[in-house]
Amino acid sequence: MTFRPLLLLPFLIPACGKPEGILIGDVLLPGNELDEAVAELEEGFPGTGNQTLRWQLMRFGMGAAALVHHRFPEQSIQQRDLAQACADRIDAGATFDSEEVRWEKEGHMAPLPQSPEPPNPFGLGARVAAATATLEEGEWAGPLRTSRGWEVIHLHKRYDPVRSRSHVVLRRLVFPVGSESDWTAARDDWDRLPLSGDEDYLRAVPSEILRVRRPAEEE
């Protein structure tokens, strides 16, 4: 069983001088949040460089998640509390099965398909892939802040002991923030908004992308 503490939402983190992390337009993806996910993902991809993992996490979900939660702050807090209550019950001994039944009855959203997926950020989404890299079959993690909202996940099946190549089957309880159209808009905005912030984190962004996405005043 795995329980992960919550991180502060980026819109609750004060900025002074250069922010520690990546600014997507005017929305902060905190560096400590990114680094926590990198540390987890390294367990599944130990041969991959730190900056490559940072970019994969930004590109495949954590950038869009920062935008979604920034745009719907009150709903994010409400859904985080529901996801936290779910995690607390599991931590206290409730089964994931019972929480899945409760979640379906509450009608949060349609269940996601439980089919084998690659264990990387492209396949699972950034934050879920990072958490999954640390799990054994039957373990769970959450709440996780994703581009859909908050998630509590359970690793149902891992097909290969080599985690970088092992497809996995996850059960995912999503407590949504925004709608599907909001999630699409956030992904589109992640692909076009200027990127700025701490130079250490900006080094993870491929040079050809950073060249065209620097704010005008920094060019």
| Per-residue confidence (pLDDT) for residue 15, from 0 to 100 | 41
Mean pLDDT by groups of 10 residues along the chain of 219 residues? 44 51 96 96 94 97 98 98 97 96 88 87 97 96 97 94 90 96 97 94 94 75
Residues near 22 by beta carbon (within 8 Å), at least 6 away in sequence: 28, 29, 31, 34, 58, 63, 195, 196, 197, 198, 201, 202, 205
| Per-residue confidence (pLDDT) for residue 19, from 0 to 100 | 60
Q: Which of 170, 127, 134, 130 is nearest to 150 (CA)?
A: 127
| Per-residue confidence (pLDDT) for residue 217, from 0 to 100 | 62
Q: What is the pTM of this model?
A: 0.88
In whole angstroms, give the CA distance from residue 123 to residue 117: 6
| Per-residue confidence (pLDDT) for residue 215, from 0 to 100 | 82
| Per-residue confidence (pLDDT) for residue 1, from 0 to 100 | 46
In the block, tokens 């929480």 appear at 99
Cα torsion 68, 70, 75, 81 to 10°: value is 100
In whole angstroms, give the CA distance from residue 101 to residue 174: 13
In the block, tokens 């990127």 appear at 195
| Per-residue confidence (pLDDT) for residue 165, from 0 to 100 | 87
| Per-residue confidence (pLDDT) for residue 129, from 0 to 100 | 97
